[in-house]
Amino acid sequence: MFIISKVATAIMSPLGAALLGGLLALILGVAGRRRLAFGLGTLALVWLWCWSLPVTSYAIRGYMENQHPAVDASAMPKAGAIVVLGGGTAPLSYGASYPNLGAASDREWHGARLYHAGKAPLLILSGGHDPQFSAVSSAESMRRFISALGVPDSAMVLEERSRNTTQNADFTADILAREGIGRVLLVTSALHMPRAKALFEAQGVEVIAAATDHEVRALPGWRKWLPDTDALDGSSRAIKEIVGRLVGR
């Protein structure tokens, strides 16, 4: 199911949909259906171009991120635990000594900030790995980074089985029940927060959203209309979140 989910997500992304449309247009052209092939090929190209524009990408990402704006750590309420979802720090490869920080590593920074602000006595780090490719889990990679930010190991609990957000919520809820914690500060990227919050609440957890890693920023007007690979990537992730939320419902 994990592999099927990844393949389905790839097909639904703007790039995947455009490539599939282009392939179907090629097949139709070879089969002699040239008018239909031209129309489908044009539609695939327009679809890809549309989601590659920062103006379009920022619109859909802004819609998601504005649901949970940034709040200073000092202004957040207290909770029983801070739950930090994996995705910002890549699981260590075999032979590597230090974790690689990704674009979403704001998650770890913000989790540490909340802890140092006294918002909860415990951090739960949620994220597994594929042993075929990674030496340690995403949670362990996060622990090493957050430890370097001054959070003691005694204040961190690792959830190392999950491979997606649904499992993040499921397996973390087991830890929370064991610890007798019902209210958490949930730390993840703002784009990911609506779906993650809904999944944790479905497990009966009271969630205070502590969103970080907001991506939408000011750009010169003319740059918003130039196709950009970062915009295409952002559009793909936003569509993934929206589709995932609808499927979850």
Of residues 217 and 193, more confidence is placed in 193
pLDDT of residue 6: 67
**Residue 1 pLDDT > 80, yes or no?**
no
Average pLDDT score over residue span 141-156: 96
**Residue 12 pLDDT > 90, yes or no?**
no
Full domain range(s) for residue 6: 2-65+227-248
* Spatial distance between the Cα atoms of 218 and 231, rounded to a whole number of angstroms: 13
Residue 220 lies in a domain: no
Same domain, 13 and 136: no
Largest Cα–Cα separation, the chain: 68
Same domain, 189 and 208: yes
* Six token digits for residue 248: 């979850």
Lowest mean pLDDT among 22-31, 48-57, 127-136, 159-168: 127-136
**Residue 2 pLDDT > 60, yes or no?**
no
> pTM value?
0.88
**Residue 3 pLDDT > 70, yes or no?**
no
pLDDT of residue 222: 82
pLDDT of residue 95: 80
At 192, which CATH number?
Answer: 3.40.50.620
Residue 166 lies in a domain: yes
- What are the tens digits of pLDDT across the range 176-216? 999 999 999 999 999 999 999 999 999 999 999 999 999 99
pLDDT of residue 189: 97
**Residue 32 pLDDT > 70, yes or no?**
yes
Per residue, the 3-state secondary structure of the chain, as one string, reads CHHHHHHHHHHHCHHHHHHHHHHHHHHHHHCCCHHHHHHHHHHHHHHHHHHHCHHHHHHHHHHHHCCCCCCCHHHCCCCCEEEEECCCEECCCCCCCCCEECCCCHHHHHHHHHHHCCCCCCEEEECCCCCCCCCCCHHHHHHHHHHHCCCCHHHEEEECCCCCHHHHHHHHHHHHHHHCCCEEEEEEECCCHHHHHHHHHHCCCEEEEEEECCCCCCCCHHHHHCCCHHHHHHHHHHHHHHHHHHHHC
pLDDT of residue 92: 80
Residues with Cβ within 8 Å of 110's Cβ and at least 6 positions away in sequence, in order, are 73, 84, 187, 210, 212, 213
Report the mean per-residue pLDDT for the chain.
91
Residue 8 lies in a domain: yes
Residue 97 lies in a domain: yes
Same domain, 14 and 101: no
Average pLDDT score over residue span 5-22: 82
pLDDT of residue 112: 97
**Sorting pLDDT into bands at 50, 70 and 90, what band is 247?**
low
Of residues 218 and 183, more confidence is placed in 183
- Domains in the chain: how many in total? 2
Of residues 240 and 115, more confidence is placed in 115
Angle (CA) 221-227-229 rounded to 5° is 120
Please count the CA atoms within 13 angstroms of the CA of 132 that sit on its side-chain side: 0
Residue 222 lies in a domain: no
**Residue 9 pLDDT > 70, yes or no?**
yes
